[in-house]
Amino acid sequence: MQAGELSAFVAGLDSSWLGLSVTMPLKTEAFTIASRHDEWSQLAGVSNTIFLDDAGIQAFNTDVVGIVDPLRRLFAKTERRSPETAVIIGAGATAASAAIAVAELGCRHVSVVARDSSRATHVRELCERLDVSCDVTRLDDLSALEASELTISTVPGSAGVRLDMDVRDGDVLFDIAYGVWPSINSQRWQASGGQAINGLAMLAAQALRQVRVFVGGSPETELPDERRVRSAMNAAVGLDESGLFALSVG
């Protein structure tokens, strides 16, 4: 489906449909066609989940929790505190969700890295609304950026972006890519002493909240036997029981 086609598609659905999971380039349109929005959709201006009921179209952003949940589990597993600073690579819809996520984790400063600094305006303004200080760095100047405890890369592996950054022991890379794993960037990161988790962790975590929406109408309402559902979802995408690490290389 192309951008601009979502509204007509949704209008043609019958009452057997509970909702839709959408991805780019439809996240902005998903937000626009809805009459009701959750808090994270309102903040980011994008949605990845549409719920259909008698009151119309409700939009949710489960990408935020898809980032927050795995990172909280990782920090608890490794007994480390949440970081105060973060780097976000990219300036699109997922970067906006990442900005909200790091604010939820307690970060007080974000460095946004984009090919064109003018494209980062929305993310920078979002950080201001979240009371998080923000600076913008051009991708060409990435190597000069100060090291951070947490880096979230929202660019696909096909973009060919090399994360030539200073990496310290224990620094975390959340490489939100669903392709070949380990990615080149994650391999380099771990060879430098850092820790990398793969985008499938976000995919599974946000999808669980989507299922909650479709079953119970809210991302906060737990599913019956949710632990079993979570395990099955992690296994389906090749993640271990923790939902953090890939079991296979592909």
| Residues 179 and 70 placed together within one structural domain of the fold | yes
At 249 the pLDDT is 52
Would you say residue 72 lies in a domain? Answer: yes
| Residues 196 and 223 placed together within one structural domain of the fold | no
- Domain that includes residue 28, residue range: 14-61+211-236
At 122 the pLDDT is 94
| Residues 215 and 147 placed together within one structural domain of the fold | no
At 40 the pLDDT is 96
pTM, whole model, 2 decimals?
Answer: 0.94
Closest CA to 24 of 57, 47, 51, 50: 47
The count of other CB atoms within 10 Å of the CB of residue 111 is: 19
Query: What pLDDT digit, counting tens, does each position of 117-131 carry?
Result: 999 999 999 999 999
Query: What pLDDT digit, counting tens, does each position of 26-83 carry?
Result: 999 999 999 999 999 999 999 999 999 999 999 999 999 999 999 999 999 988 888 9
Question: Mean pLDDT, to the nearest integer, of 217-228?
Answer: 95
Distance, in Å, from the CA atom of 20 to the CA atom of 60, rounded to the nearest integer, reads 10
| Residues 56 and 84 placed together within one structural domain of the fold | no
* Domains: count for the chain: 2
Helices (H), the chain: 6-11, 27-33, 39-44, 63-77, 93-104, 121-129, 184-191, 200-216, 226-236
| Residues 77 and 126 placed together within one structural domain of the fold | yes
| Residues 139 and 80 placed together within one structural domain of the fold | yes
3-state secondary structure of 111: strand
| Residues 113 and 215 placed together within one structural domain of the fold | no
Closest CA to 246 of 180, 188, 193: 180
Query: What pLDDT digit, counting tens, does each position of 150-164 carry?
Result: 999 998 766 678 888
